[in-house]
Structure 1
Amino acid sequence: MFPPSERPFVPNFSPGFPHRRAGHSRCFRRLAHRPRDGPCRAGSSFVPSATVATGPATLLRTGSIDRTASPGAEGRHMVALRTEMVSFNEQEIWSETLRCIEADSEGGNLDIWLSRARLLRVEPGIVHVEVLNEFCRDWIRERYLERLRTLLARQLQGPVEIEFHLAEAPPTATPPATPLVRPSQPAPAPQALHPRYTFDRFVIGPSNQLACEAARSIAERLGDATHPLYIYASSGLGKTHLLSAVANTVAARRPTLRVFYLPTQRFVEEFVHAVHAGNIERFDRKYREECDLLLLDDVHVLRGKDGTQERFFHIFNALYDRHVPIIMTSDQWPKEIPDLEERLRTRFLWGLLVNIEPPEFETRVAILRRKAEDEGIVLPDDVAQLIALKVTGSVRELEGILGRVAAQAQVTHRPIDLALTQEVLAVLLPAAPVSCTIDDLQRAVCSLFGIHLSDLRGPSRRHSVTLPRHIAMFLAREALRLPLPTIGERFGNRDHTTVISACRRVATLLEHDAATRNIVLNLRRQLGLP
């Protein structure tokens, strides 16, 4: 046993503290006690290293350090104090601190910028930490400083301050800053631009008219137009087309302006690369000072990326103060984007917000005709109407179906007609369950032709009644797939052969009579029939 005056000091860690976990035990060794009024015993005093990154961390409880001795063994250093002495490894302290923060974070993931911070050394009351650059330093200070102080103070058994040091970059990492000069020559064309995406080739309908006019206004008036413009819509409805149309218009009218058109994912990648390379200043200068028009596609990609949101927030403010137009697209309303900072969300709401809805039937037909014209496809009107009737979602899906029909016609050496189109649609768009009943069908036909339901089911043979009756029988057979006897029964107990005759007559009219084709297509669309 040690005499009371020479007992080693052992910190009293709480039972639940992480240092009590297996594999993270602290090494505490007894040091020779230095008498209060005499020199240190030979070989018993040690000088703490305060300059080596992988050196010791020292805990000063009371008294003073003897600076006349040498480091201890096994890579650990000890401090000789007047009253108490303890040793521990710095890197274990830092690793344990990061593990605690990681365990408390959402999803158990450590912040990318904090994970790249490195412990330099520990001095009495001061912990020195190296970070990549000023951005990382400010980021950690704002979000983790108090937590780091608390955890380190618990491990070092006393209050500590944290001093950040910027990592030294290689001499060639950051080129010398150059003053911003407005180019007299035409600016380079924006990357990822679609030359065929122009306002002239954008099919306008009630569903997208406001978005198109707002985008055109910014392209033509720039600083005088309302901005920022936020366009939100589902995928495939023309958001990217409008952004490209704006970029093409500005590049043609004012070629000296610098237009930045890019997907948000590329913006995120540029920012991460700039942080790692220590080129944050160049990144900021590019977007804050060298940009005359910012077009950002799929801005919802920013969700959950706190670092990029922070940087974009300041870029947005700088551009807005310079009256630089900003157009953003997304598949969500700003208030619906999860994990987006509120201050950024409010800035998205500053300007004009417009929505693009799925196109109406007439707009879908016009889109198919424009696409067929661009691709040199001979597209009959009835085929365009059939595709527009079947495909009610995105413009991209419409164009895909048209391309498939054209390819099928080329491979099989057949003309593009209803029969070929129906074959392709049957493969690409399997028939969905039909909720329409024969009663619904009969009422819709009567409403369309302006006749009574009793006439449709009765014995009348007037032409104004027989044609609607035959069309109703045809759809009951082709769309509802009802048996012939059942159809005959629901139309005044007629024989099944009458139903067959009616179906043949309508099929013949569909081949030669455009008016009948329109009637059948409208009924299919109204009732949701295949």
Structure 2
Amino acid sequence: MERRSFAENQVETPSCITLFFLHGGKVTEGIATLSLETDSKTTRRRNQISASARGMLREFLLGPENRLIATGIGLSDIEGTSPINFAMHPLLITAPAGYGKTQLLMALGATWSRHYAEHQVTFMTGSELSHAYLEALKLDDVPPFQKRYCRADLLLIDRLDELVDSPAVQHQLSVILDHRIRYERPTVMTTRQPLHALKLSERLTSRISSGLIVPLELPAAATRRELLDRIGEMHRIELSNEARELLAENTLPIPQLMGLFNQLNAMNVAACGPVEKQVVQQLLDDDHDQLDPRNIITATARHFGLKVNSVTGASRRKMDAMARAIAMFLIRDLTTLSYQQIGAFFQNRDHTTVMHACKKINGLIETDSTARSAVQELERFLVPHRS
């Protein structure tokens, strides 16, 4: 297969916005960096997109199938080199897990910061908004809480569905959106489910519906071919035409697609010429045979009587931390995912954190009857044929 350079791809495919950017002479995966700022007076956490981030919209792959999103964010040119101009807001982006909603939000924030360096871009998840509100309640500090999010020049809220069981936070978000709509400050949110399925409060649903609701579609075959070329360039892996077409026609979510290339890297296929279709098909078949990590996390949460967010989140409660470590251990034990890939299911935790958790549980199985019993019961539930 003829290889094309990154620069050549940029020239030949001006209609694509790609997930990758040129950094230090090579293609690098990345969107934007998040900086956690702490207000020492009130110990509030504020998630903000770093103004120095270099992940811009032209680094997110939006093919023709997602042109409606480009329209919604007001791009005057599809390459994302012009400033964003939200003609319709609030903007709600809906899609199942693995479609790239979080990456798109971060790319939006980074692009906005690049063009409006003096503006404040605030990024948070639904659970982080809930946490911030609860802290404000404890400190009798709700008005400053509202003001902080009302005044952000661009407000990005990931996983709005995490507010389903928090009517008080839904009310606060309604108040915030009222202010932002009145003063024309854009807000972009994401959710895994359609708005009507979330069963949010009538007021919040009304405020969101006053803007634009648009689904994020999986890349079509043509877009996936471009994405495969970019990922292959990044990993220095060349696919045969047949292997490339197999993956282009496959609906594998982007994170799993990246994982497949990581597996090819581990197999050191780059030195053997173009990767053949049979090799890729075998990896796809193996992937179908293994457990879904999300099912393992859900089963672990149910075993401990916790919400999934408590297991995947940042809570330091003893029960939450134990369940989180066991879930990481089980994913490592029952799947072929790397430590880094496992960390992605737990708010992108570092691979060393996952390694430490697995080592800890491995030791507790020998010394702690509670941990040993939990692991054994979960394994019997998840993999009955092992019994």
Aligned length: 244
Q: Contact 1:303–1:337 at 8 Å: present in 2 too? A: yes
Q: For residues 133 and 98 of structure 2, what CA distance do their matches in structure 1 show?
A: 27
Amino acid at match of 1:281: P
Amino acid at match of 1:379: L
SS of alignment partner, residue 92 of structure 2: strand
Q: What does 1:436-447 correspond to in 2, within 5 Å?
A: none
SS of alignment partner, residue 217 of structure 1: coil
2:112 matched to which residue of 1?
A: 250
Larger deviation, residues 414-423 vs 267-276: 414-423
- Is residue 341 of structure 1 aligned with residue 201 of structure 2? yes
- Is residue 326 of structure 1 aligned with residue 184 of structure 2? no
Q: Which has the bigger relative contact order, CA under 8 A and spacing at least 6?
A: 2
Amino acid at match of 2:115: R
SS of alignment partner, residue 200 of structure 1: helix
Q: 1:264 aligns with which of 112, 122, 126?
A: 126
Amino acid at match of 1:421: V
1:363 matched to which residue of 2?
A: 223
Q: Contact 1:368–1:399 at 8 Å: present in 2 too? A: no
Q: Contact 1:173–1:277 at 8 Å: present in 2 too? A: no
Q: Contact 2:83–2:111 at 8 Å: present in 1 too? A: no
Q: For residues 413 and 224 of structure 1, what CA distance do their matches in structure 2 show?
A: 47
- Is residue 381 of structure 1 aligned with residue 241 of structure 2? yes
Amino acid at match of 1:250: W
1:206 matched to which residue of 2?
A: 64
Per the TM alignment, residue 307 of structure 1 is displaced from its structure 2 partner at its CA by: 1.2
Q: What does 1:107-146 correspond to in 2, within 5 Å?
A: none
2:172 matched to which residue of 1?
A: 311
Q: For residues 189 and 344 of structure 1, what CA distance do their matches in structure 2 show?
A: 22
Q: For residues 236 and 48 of structure 2, what CA distance do their matches in structure 1 show?
A: 29
Q: For residues 249 and 301 of structure 1, what CA distance do their matches in structure 2 show?
A: 26
Q: Contact 1:223–1:325 at 8 Å: present in 2 too? A: no
- Is residue 424 of structure 1 aligned with residue 283 of structure 2? yes
Q: Go from structure 1 to structure 2 and tell me whether the alpha carbon gap of 1:281 and 1:305 turns closer, same or farther (over 3 Å shift).
A: same
Q: 1:287 aligns with which of 149, 159, 162?
A: 149
1:403 matched to which residue of 2?
A: 262
Q: Contact 2:73–2:88 at 8 Å: present in 1 too? A: no
Listed one character per residue, the Cα deviations across residues 175-205 of structure 1 (whole Å, up to 9, x for unaligned) are 9xxxxxxxxxxxx992489946432222232
Listed one character per residue, the Cα deviations across residues 385-425 of structure 1 (whole Å, up to 9, x for unaligned) are 22233x31422222222222232235x96443334323322
Q: 1:227 aligns with which of 80, 89, 104?
A: 89
Q: For residues 369 and 227 of structure 1, what CA distance do their matches in structure 2 show?
A: 34
Q: Go from structure 1 to structure 2 and tell me whether the alpha carbon gap of 1:173 and 1:260 turns closer, same or farther (over 3 Å shift).
A: closer
Listed one character per residue, the Cα deviations across residues 123-174 of structure 1 (whole Å, up to 9, x for unaligned) are xxxxxxxxxxxxxxxxxxxxxxxxxxxxxxxxxxxxxxxxxxxxxxxxx987
Listed one character per residue, the Cα deviations across residues 95-148 of structure 1 (whole Å, up to 9, x for unaligned) are xxxxxxxxxxxxxxxxxxxxxxxxxxxxxxxxxxxxxxxxxxxxxxxxxxxxxx
Q: Contact 1:261–1:294 at 8 Å: present in 2 too? A: yes
Amino acid at match of 1:344: L
TM-score of the two chains, using structure 2 as the length reference = 0.56
Q: Contact 1:243–1:295 at 8 Å: present in 2 too? A: yes
Q: For residues 183 and 84 of structure 2, what CA distance do their matches in structure 1 show?
A: 12
Per the TM alignment, residue 292 of structure 1 is displaced from its structure 2 partner at its CA by: 0.9
Q: For residues 377 and 404 of structure 1, what CA distance do their matches in structure 2 show?
A: 11
Q: For residues 189 and 330 of structure 1, what CA distance do their matches in structure 2 show?
A: 18
Q: 1:276 aligns with which of 128, 138, 144?
A: 138
Q: Contact 1:295–1:327 at 8 Å: present in 2 too? A: yes
SS of alignment partner, residue 255 of structure 2: helix
TM-score of the two chains, using structure 1 as the length reference = 0.42
Q: Contact 2:123–2:155 at 8 Å: present in 1 too? A: yes
SS of alignment partner, residue 377 of structure 1: coil
Q: For residues 97 and 166 of structure 2, what CA distance do their matches in structure 1 show?
A: 22
Q: Go from structure 1 to structure 2 and tell me whether the alpha carbon gap of 1:422 and 1:195 turns closer, same or farther (over 3 Å shift).
A: farther
Per the TM alignment, residue 341 of structure 1 is displaced from its structure 2 partner at its CA by: 0.3
Q: Go from structure 1 to structure 2 and tell me whether the alpha carbon gap of 1:386 and 1:430 turns closer, same or farther (over 3 Å shift).
A: farther
Amino acid at match of 2:285: A
Per the TM alignment, residue 284 of structure 1 is displaced from its structure 2 partner at its CA by: 1.8
SS of alignment partner, residue 429 of structure 1: helix
